[in-house]
Amino acid sequence: MKLYISGTCPVDGSIQNVYFAKIPSSGKIFFVCPMCKLAWSMPPEPTILDSLDDYKDYAPQGFWLPSRDDISRAALAHLIIGEEDLDKESLKKAILRMLAPGYEQAHGN
């Protein structure tokens, strides 16, 4: 599974990446920090914490990880600053807890 990076989290001192996420029902893209579980409609400024929305406010059942095509279709590809394989154990655990049911079956690993 691949994660697309939009920036760093203002809560975690700019050491934790913020990733693209997708609402399964609508396909709408939002942004999430897997460590503090906060979510944003646009990538947060790394030094400005101006909202404290939980990812469940966006995707109550959990989110899916968007493909680069999903992100392009949403006209947000210019916000991708990097990508990362989901192979770090702590990150993988955090992300898997937040994914909507069915994602793993549909997308493998």
**Contacts to Zn ion by CB under 5 A:** 9, 11-12, 16, 33, 35-36
Shortest distance in whole angstroms from residue 105 CB to Zn ion: 28
Shortest distance in whole angstroms from residue 108 CB to Zn ion: 27
Interatomic CA distance for residues 97 and 82, integer angstroms = 23
Closer CB to Zn ion, residue 13 or residue 27?
13
Shortest distance in whole angstroms from residue 35 CB to Zn ion: 5
CB neighbour class for 47 (10 Å; exposed up to 12, middle 13-18, buried from 19): exposed
Please report where in the chains the tokens 């101006």 appear, as a residue: 50
